[in-house]
Copies of this chain bind each other. A is one copy, B any other.
C-alpha cells in the first residue's frame, strides 16, 4: 500500500483514505462502497453510515468479506493483492454491496434493500435480488451482466464468471430459482433457469443454458446443457478444481466435437 501510494501520487490520498485511515476492513470497505454507490438521492455519508453499521454488527458478513477477498487472490490470476480487490474489483464490490442489502432484507428493511439492489445494478451492471442467499468464498469475476433471482441459493466457494444468470422460468412467485452447490464453477454467460440443483463441484461450460438438475462433480456444456464428463477426484479441493479448469475446457471441446461427428 505505501509503495502503491508512493508510486502514484495522484491516487495516494484515495488509497490512504480507503485503507490506511481505517482501523478495520469493514470501515475501509464501507468507505469505498459508499463512494462508488452514492448518487443524488443516496448520499455518500448516509451510505457509509448504513454500510458501516451493518458490517460492524454482522459476524456473517465479517467472515464473508474476508473469505471472498481470499477467493479473488486464490482464483483470479489478474488479482495481485488484497488492496487491489478492495479498491478496484467491480465483482468484489457488487458482491459485498449485495451482502449489505441482504442483511437489511433479513432485518425487514425491504425498501432500502431494494433501493440498494437498484443502485448496484446501475453502477456495476450486477443485479442480485437482496433475498437471494449466497455463501462464502465467492469469486464473482468482472460481474457485468450477472442476474441472480429472489429464491436462488449459491453455496460456498462457488465461482461465477460475468454474464451468469440464475433466473426463474415464469410468473409464479414461489421458489423458482436455481440452487447451486458448493465449489461449483459457472463459466461466462451461463444461463441457469428454474428451481433446479447444480450439484457440488459441478462445472458449467461458458455459454451453456441449463434447464435441469446437474449431478455433483459433473461437467456440463451446450444449449441446452448436457453432461459431457465427470471429475475423477474423490475429494476435489477448491484449488484442484481450478487447476483443472483448462483441462476441462480442452476436454469439453473434444467431447463435443466428437459427440457431434457421430
Residue ranges of A at the interface with B (Cβ–Cβ < 8 Å): 4-5, 7-17, 20-22, 31, 34-36, 38-41, 43-46, 48-50, 74-75, 77-78, 84, 87-90, 109, 111-112, 114-115, 117-118, 121-125, 127, 129, 142, 144-145, 147, 149-150, 161-163, 165, 167-173, 176, 187-189, 191, 193-194, 205-209, 211-212, 221-224, 226, 239, 242-246, 249-250, 252-253, 256-257, 260
Across-interface contacts of A78 in B (CB, < 8 A): 129, 149-150
Across-interface contacts of A187 in B (CB, < 8 A): 193
| Complex A-B, nearest 5 residue pairs according to Cβ-Cβ distance, in ascending order | A170-B245, A13-B13, A88-B118, A9-B16, A211-B253
Across-interface contacts of A122 in B (CB, < 8 A): 36, 90, 123-124
Determine which of B7, B36, B222, B239 lies in contact with A109 in the assembled complex, contact meaning CB atoms within 8 Å.
B7
Determine which of B13, B111, B171, B250 lies in contact with A77 in the assembled complex, contact meaning CB atoms within 8 Å.
B171
Contact A162 to B165, CB < 8 A, known contacts A20-B9, A191-B188? yes
Report how many copies the assembly holds. 6
Determine which of B12, B50, B125, B147 lies in contact with A16 in the assembled complex, contact meaning CB atoms within 8 Å.
B12
Across-interface contacts of A147 in B (CB, < 8 A): 142, 144, 162, 188
- B163 near A10 (CB under 8 angstroms)? no
- A114 near B165 (CB under 8 angstroms)? no
Please list 7 pairs of residues, one from A and one from B, whose beta carbons are closer than 8 Å in the complex, sorted by A's number.
A7-B111, A12-B12, A17-B45, A17-B49, A77-B173, A170-B244, A171-B242
Question: Given the complex of chains A and B, what is the CA–CA distance between A207 and B87 in angstroms?
Answer: 32
Contact A189 to B165, CB < 8 A, known contacts A45-B34, A207-B207? yes
Question: Given the complex of chains A and B, what is the CA–CA distance between A114 and B112 in angstroms?
Answer: 28
Across-interface contacts of A17 in B (CB, < 8 A): 9-10, 43, 45-46, 49
17 extra interface residue pairs, beta carbon distance < 8 Å, beyond A34-B45, A121-B142, A170-B244: A8-B111, A10-B46, A11-B13, A12-B12, A12-B13, A14-B41, A17-B45, A40-B44, A87-B115, A127-B162, A142-B147, A147-B162, A171-B239, A171-B245, A188-B193, A194-B246, A224-B256
- A252 near B211 (CB under 8 angstroms)? yes
Question: Given the complex of chains A and B, what is the CA–CA distance between A194 and B245 in angstroms?
Answer: 10
- A31 near B10 (CB under 8 angstroms)? no
Smallest Cβ-Cβ distance to A108: which chain B residue: B7
Across-interface contacts of A121 in B (CB, < 8 A): 90, 142, 144
| Residue in A7, A163, A209 with the greatest tally of chain B CB atoms within 10 Å | A209
